[in-house]
Structure 1
Amino acid sequence: MKLTIKDIARMAGVSPGTVSKVINNTGSISPKTIKKIMKIIEDTGYKPSFSAKSLATKRSNLIGLIYAGEVNVEFNHPFFNQVVNAFKSAIGKLGYDILIFSNNEFSNDRENYLKRCKHFQLDGCILIAGEHLEEAVYELDQSNIPCVGVDIELSGPSSSFVTTDNSKVSAKVVEHLYLNSIKEVAFIGGPEDSIISNIRKEAFINNMNQFGMTMRDHWMQYGDYFEDTGYKSMKQILAQRPFPQAVFAASDMMALGAIRAIKEAGLKVPEDIKIIGCDDIEACRYSDPPLATVKQDKDKMGRLAAHMLHDLINNNTEPSSVLVDPELVIRESCLVGTSYMKMQTRG
């Protein structure tokens, strides 16, 4: 027979409300009573039901997952997929389930995210960045529903966000190239109206200027973070001479497309042109040559988002922002001088 919260309360000689408070770790319950109830739960193998968990708190223990933007990211996106997996694991351990919002249905129904949250009585939301954010995102942000954005700078009264320090992304790339006497560098960014890409572009330009490095107009190209536009952008860069010594692409997928274009032009990576991407997706390790990149700590971002949202829901913290430091990962596509020769010898 399946036990209920009333059965546990009867065995412990307390009210169901007291059992619920112990399960949800709320209220002022004596250590002796907590120990007694927890032992009964452990001995009987009782699994709290959804209604039992939410009885004391009047919460759903549900989190909304929103892939935001009119041009939204896909479930299999190589960067955000890993962030969401880390978030899912961490938020599950904190006692929540996830409800995924359908962006397409949102567009058709002309409903807004805030109404959906209230309808499902969600405790909070995580918003994953897309492009061209819809007004409904900002409406939700400015509500009292706890929200955490990933690569979206939220500013609402109950909102926080976590993102990579995108200025440091470009700074690390330019500094590395400068220290290796590479001073002619092209840039392939995301969409020209992309906030994240523009942060990387401005930091790239500022650091290039700081070190007196060479930029040319046709060396500044833009794509959509995916391989085909990296390929097309690199073709534009190679359409005129002189060629750059190195290319920094704002995503690994565009960097992989750039490598394809360089090879088609009869040039070699890294001997003729060096390539650095951004994200450190799994494909970087298996490309030919293996792709140098700026690693964003996807696992940390997902776990931080989960704990930040949990704290907002429980009023344990004030809204805040967290910038996660990136890490430069040098692989064969950007090796220079003796380092490259040694690797070729080992190979």
Structure 2
Amino acid sequence: MSVTIKDVAKKAGVSPSTVSRVLSNNSRISKETSQKVRDIMDELGYHPNIMAKSLVSKTTQSICVILPKPAEELFMNMFFMELIRGIVTQANRSGYDVLISSGANEQEEVEAVSRLLNGKRVDGAILLYSRKDDKVVDFLQNNNHPFVLVGRSPKYPDLLSVDNDNVQAAYDATQHLINLGHQRIGFVSGPPSHIVSRDRLEGYTRAMEDSNLSMSKDWIVEGEFLQESGYRAMSFFMNLPERPTALLVVDDLVSLGVLRGLHELGYKVPQDLCLVSFNNIAIAELSTPPISSVDIGIYNLGYTASQALIQSVTHVGENQFQKRHIIPHRLVIRESSIFSPTKSEVNTRMNI
């Protein structure tokens, strides 16, 4: 015979309504009482009926994560895995489950989020990207569905969002290369439709202009957030009559493709070309050479996005809502941007 709320209430010495409030994370229940009730639940092996609970509370205790393209491509990039880890950790701590959905194109993404939200299968959505003229954002905004955008929307500046100051982050990374004495600095960008690509390009451009350094359109190459984009970019860059001496790369995964392309062409990093990237995923430190990268706090981006959405859904602290959350960044300097020649190399350069 299954354990009921009444069984838990009797064992804990509280009313069934108190047990229900504990299950709903009601703030009126003290921490001591809540913990006592939950301990009894564990002891008796009680599992709440989610469907019945949803009918009473008008919530599903679930949120969805919308991926920007087929998941098999995204899961190759540890950035998204770390982002989702932050989302899931915070959601679980708040008693929420996480569904993940995607589509091959924008229309499929709209259809997916429509099924989940209009079908009352989730309480809100997190978008892991921001694009110009995004149909998914339009749908969510126009239908008043709770959602959080990881990034920013030029069209809807007052959206609930979590982001970095990507303009400043790119400015800082470019300035690091300028401070090392580089004047010809290239930029391997992401898709121009993605706001993060535009913001990082703007930061790069501002830093170059502020230092009165010339820029060539040939030194800016656009691609996808994939290794292959970085690999292809090297065939182009290294065949230029006047090639860059340093590169800013939009994403660590793209940087791995850059390193592979340079290796096959017979160039070394940082001896022949210095490199700074973004995201500071684990592989950046483990690559050869280790990659200098801007740490954007990926886990915190996901954790804060999940927290902001659940607060929005449950109306916790409704009068204190902060619409735009900016996660700080920091540049982690490694060997890819700092050339420390060996003694033999110094002797060779000095003709000793």
Which TM-score applies when normalising by structure 2?
0.83
The one of 332, 335, 340 aligned to 1:332: 335
Pairs within 5 Å for 1:115-134? 115-129=115-129
Q: Deviation string for 1:114-152 (max 9, x for gaps)?
A: 343121342111112276775243211333322112235
Partner of 2:349: none
- The residue aligned with 2:86 is 86
Question: What is the rounded CA distance, in whole Å, between the counterparts of 2:41 and 2:283 in structure 1?
Answer: 46
Asked if the contact 1:90–1:306 (Cα under 8 Å) also holds between the matched residues in 2, the reply is: yes
Matched letter for residue 262 of structure 1: L
Q: 1:190 — aligned with what? A: 190
Aligned-residue offset at 1:241: 2.2
**Does the C-alpha gap of structure 1 residues 36 and 206 become closer, same or farther in structure 2, counting only changes over 3 Å?**
closer
Kept after mapping to 1: 8 A contact 2:245/2:273: yes
Q: Residue 68 of structure 1 contacts residue 134 of structure 1 at CA under 8 Å; is this kept in 2?
A: no
How far 1:247 moved relative to its partner?
A: 0.9
- Kindly state the Cα deviation for residue 11 of structure 1 after the two structures are TM-superposed: 5.2
- The two structures, once aligned, show a CA RMSD in angstroms of 3.4
Give distance in 1, aligned partners of 2:22 and 2:73. Answer: 40
Gaps of 5+ in 2: 347-352
Asked if 1:3 corresponds to 2:3, the answer is: yes
Contact 1:142/1:156 (<8 A) preserved: no
Identity %: 29
Task: Please name the residue that 2:305 is paired with.
Answer: 305
Distance 1:132 1:221 in 2: 19
How far apart in 1 are the matches of 2:227 and 2:33?
60
**Hey, what's the Cα distance between the residues in 2 that align with 1:231 and 1:279?**
18
1:276 paired residue number: 276
**Where does residue 286 of structure 1 map in the other structure?**
286
Cα separation, 1, equivalents of 2:119 and 2:28: 31
State how far apart, in whole Å, the 2-side matches of 1:109 and 1:180 are.
44
Alpha-carbon shift at residue 319 of structure 1 (Å): 5.5
Is the alpha carbon distance of 1:62 and 1:133 closer, same or farther for their aligned partners in structure 2, counting shifts above 3 Å? farther
TM-score, structure 1 length as denominator?
Answer: 0.84
Can you give the 5+ residue segments of structure 1 that lack an aligned partner in the other structure?
Answer: none
Secondary structure at 2:336's aligned position in 1?
helix
Q: Which moved more, 1:68-77 or 1:197-206?
A: 68-77
CA distance in 2 between counterparts of 1:133 and 1:340 reads: 48
Q: Which amino acid aligns with 2:328?
A: D
Partner of 2:218: 218
Pairing 1:142-221 to 2, within 5 Å after superposition: 142-153=142-153, 159-221=159-221
More moved, 117-126 vs 157-166? 157-166
**SS of 1:304 mapped into structure 2:** helix
Partners of 1:127 and 1:109 lie apart in 2 by: 10
Task: Give deviations 1:71-101, integer Å, cap 9, x for gaps.
Answer: 9962343211110012112111110112222
The structural deviation recorded for 1:330 is 1.4
Q: Is 1:74 aligned to residue 74 of structure 2?
A: yes
| Counterpart AA for 1:78 | M
Residue identity opposite 1:266 in structure 2: G
